Amino acid sequence: MSLLLKKLLSDDDLGSIADVIAGVERTTSGEIRVSVREKKTRKEHDATVEALARWEFEHLGMSNTRDRTGVLLFFLLETRQFYILADEGINSKVQDGTWQLIADIMSDHFSKQNFREGITQAVQAIGKALAEHFPKKPDDTNELTNQVHVR
Protein backbone atom coordinates (compact mmCIF):
# COMPACT_ATOMS: atom_id res chain seq x y z
CA MET A 1 0.00 0.00 0.00
CA SER A 2 1.37 3.40 -0.92
CA LEU A 3 2.23 6.03 1.64
CA LEU A 4 -0.40 8.37 0.21
CA LEU A 5 -3.11 5.72 0.50
CA LYS A 6 -2.06 4.88 4.07
CA LYS A 7 -2.51 8.55 4.98
CA LEU A 8 -6.09 8.47 3.66
CA LEU A 9 -7.34 4.95 4.42
CA SER A 10 -6.06 2.32 6.84
CA ASP A 11 -6.32 -1.43 6.34
CA ASP A 12 -9.24 -1.35 8.80
CA ASP A 13 -10.92 1.33 6.67
CA LEU A 14 -10.54 -0.81 3.54
CA GLY A 15 -11.99 -3.81 5.38
CA SER A 16 -14.89 -1.75 6.68
CA ILE A 17 -15.69 -0.48 3.18
CA ALA A 18 -15.69 -4.08 1.89
CA ASP A 19 -18.09 -5.04 4.71
CA VAL A 20 -20.43 -2.18 3.80
CA ILE A 21 -20.40 -3.28 0.15
CA ALA A 22 -21.28 -6.85 1.21
CA GLY A 23 -24.14 -5.60 3.36
CA VAL A 24 -25.54 -3.31 0.68
CA GLU A 25 -25.37 -6.03 -1.96
CA ARG A 26 -27.73 -8.18 0.14
CA THR A 27 -30.52 -5.80 -0.92
CA THR A 28 -29.83 -5.57 -4.65
CA SER A 29 -28.86 -7.59 -7.70
CA GLY A 30 -26.33 -4.84 -8.42
CA GLU A 31 -22.59 -5.12 -7.91
CA ILE A 32 -20.54 -2.31 -6.37
CA ARG A 33 -16.76 -2.04 -6.56
CA VAL A 34 -14.35 0.51 -5.15
CA SER A 35 -11.01 0.98 -6.89
CA VAL A 36 -8.20 3.22 -5.67
CA ARG A 37 -5.18 4.14 -7.78
CA GLU A 38 -2.29 6.18 -6.53
CA LYS A 39 -1.27 7.67 -9.87
CA LYS A 40 -1.39 7.43 -13.63
CA THR A 41 1.23 5.54 -15.58
CA ARG A 42 3.38 7.45 -18.07
CA LYS A 43 1.30 6.28 -21.02
CA GLU A 44 -1.88 7.41 -19.21
CA HIS A 45 -0.52 10.93 -18.73
CA ASP A 46 -3.21 12.57 -20.88
CA ALA A 47 -6.07 10.25 -19.86
CA THR A 48 -9.03 11.73 -18.00
CA VAL A 49 -10.28 10.26 -14.74
CA GLU A 50 -13.38 9.12 -16.66
CA ALA A 51 -11.26 7.26 -19.22
CA LEU A 52 -9.27 5.59 -16.43
CA ALA A 53 -12.50 4.62 -14.66
CA ARG A 54 -13.86 3.08 -17.87
CA TRP A 55 -10.65 1.08 -18.31
CA GLU A 56 -10.77 -0.05 -14.67
CA PHE A 57 -14.44 -1.03 -15.04
CA GLU A 58 -13.51 -3.41 -17.87
CA HIS A 59 -10.30 -4.58 -16.16
CA LEU A 60 -12.29 -5.58 -13.04
CA GLY A 61 -14.78 -7.56 -15.14
CA MET A 62 -17.67 -5.34 -14.17
CA SER A 63 -19.23 -5.40 -17.63
CA ASN A 64 -19.45 -9.19 -17.40
CA THR A 65 -22.08 -9.32 -14.68
CA ARG A 66 -25.26 -11.19 -15.56
CA ASP A 67 -27.59 -8.19 -15.62
CA ARG A 68 -25.00 -5.47 -16.36
CA THR A 69 -25.76 -3.78 -13.04
CA GLY A 70 -22.30 -2.83 -11.80
CA VAL A 71 -21.30 0.51 -10.33
CA LEU A 72 -17.68 1.53 -9.85
CA LEU A 73 -16.37 4.16 -7.46
CA PHE A 74 -12.96 5.01 -8.92
CA PHE A 75 -10.41 7.17 -7.10
CA LEU A 76 -7.20 8.66 -8.48
CA LEU A 77 -5.20 9.88 -5.49
CA GLU A 78 -2.49 11.92 -7.21
CA THR A 79 -5.06 14.31 -8.66
CA ARG A 80 -7.61 13.92 -5.85
CA GLN A 81 -10.30 13.01 -8.37
CA PHE A 82 -12.98 10.36 -8.40
CA TYR A 83 -15.54 9.09 -10.85
CA ILE A 84 -18.77 7.12 -10.44
CA LEU A 85 -19.36 4.80 -13.39
CA ALA A 86 -22.53 2.73 -13.81
CA ASP A 87 -23.06 -0.04 -16.33
CA GLU A 88 -25.56 0.20 -19.18
CA GLY A 89 -29.18 0.05 -18.10
CA ILE A 90 -28.59 1.60 -14.70
CA ASN A 91 -28.41 5.23 -15.78
CA SER A 92 -31.68 4.96 -17.67
CA LYS A 93 -33.48 3.88 -14.49
CA VAL A 94 -31.72 5.84 -11.77
CA GLN A 95 -33.06 9.35 -11.25
CA ASP A 96 -31.17 12.20 -12.94
CA GLY A 97 -28.74 13.81 -10.57
CA THR A 98 -28.30 10.72 -8.37
CA TRP A 99 -24.60 10.31 -9.13
CA GLN A 100 -23.97 14.03 -8.59
CA LEU A 101 -25.69 13.92 -5.19
CA ILE A 102 -23.50 10.97 -4.21
CA ALA A 103 -20.42 12.79 -5.49
CA ASP A 104 -21.39 15.81 -3.39
CA ILE A 105 -21.72 13.63 -0.27
CA MET A 106 -18.25 12.23 -0.84
CA SER A 107 -16.73 15.63 -1.60
CA ASP A 108 -18.17 17.06 1.60
CA HIS A 109 -16.67 14.26 3.71
CA PHE A 110 -13.36 14.37 1.84
CA SER A 111 -13.01 18.11 2.46
CA LYS A 112 -13.17 17.27 6.19
CA GLN A 113 -10.60 14.44 5.78
CA ASN A 114 -13.35 11.83 6.45
CA PHE A 115 -12.42 9.50 3.60
CA ARG A 116 -13.80 6.26 5.06
CA GLU A 117 -17.11 7.88 5.95
CA GLY A 118 -17.40 9.52 2.53
CA ILE A 119 -16.87 6.26 0.68
CA THR A 120 -19.11 4.31 3.07
CA GLN A 121 -21.98 6.77 2.66
CA ALA A 122 -21.53 6.75 -1.11
CA VAL A 123 -21.69 2.94 -1.20
CA GLN A 124 -24.86 3.02 0.93
CA ALA A 125 -26.47 5.63 -1.33
CA ILE A 126 -25.56 3.66 -4.45
CA GLY A 127 -26.99 0.54 -2.84
CA LYS A 128 -30.24 2.32 -2.05
CA ALA A 129 -30.57 3.52 -5.66
CA LEU A 130 -29.78 0.04 -7.00
CA ALA A 131 -32.18 -1.73 -4.61
CA GLU A 132 -35.01 0.51 -5.78
CA HIS A 133 -34.58 -0.46 -9.44
CA PHE A 134 -32.65 -3.73 -9.21
CA PRO A 135 -33.88 -5.61 -6.14
CA LYS A 136 -32.26 -8.83 -5.01
CA LYS A 137 -33.39 -11.84 -7.04
CA PRO A 138 -33.86 -15.31 -5.53
CA ASP A 139 -31.03 -16.74 -7.65
CA ASP A 140 -28.57 -13.86 -7.20
CA THR A 141 -24.97 -14.61 -6.43
CA ASN A 142 -22.14 -12.27 -5.51
CA GLU A 143 -20.43 -12.04 -8.90
CA LEU A 144 -17.56 -9.72 -7.95
CA THR A 145 -15.39 -9.46 -4.89
CA ASN A 146 -16.31 -6.80 -2.35
CA GLN A 147 -12.68 -6.04 -1.52
CA VAL A 148 -11.38 -2.59 -2.37
CA HIS A 149 -9.11 -2.82 -5.40
CA VAL A 150 -5.86 -0.95 -4.73
CA ARG A 151 -3.02 -0.35 -7.16
> Residue 85's closest CA among 66, 120, 121, 60?
60
Domains along the chain with CATH numbers: 3-137 (3.10.310.50)
Q: What is the pLDDT along the chain (151 residues), one digit of tens a residue?
A: 676 677 889 999 999 999 999 999 999 999 999 999 999 999 999 999 999 999 999 999 999 988 899 999 999 999 999 999 999 889 889 988 999 999 999 999 999 999 999 999 999 999 999 999 999 999 988 999 999 999 8
The DSSP line for 85-143 is: EE-TTTTTTSPTTHHHHHHHHHHHHHHTT-HHHHHHHHHHHHHHHHHHHSBPPTT----
Q: Residue length, the chain?
A: 151
Alpha carbon distance 39, 76 (integer Å):
6
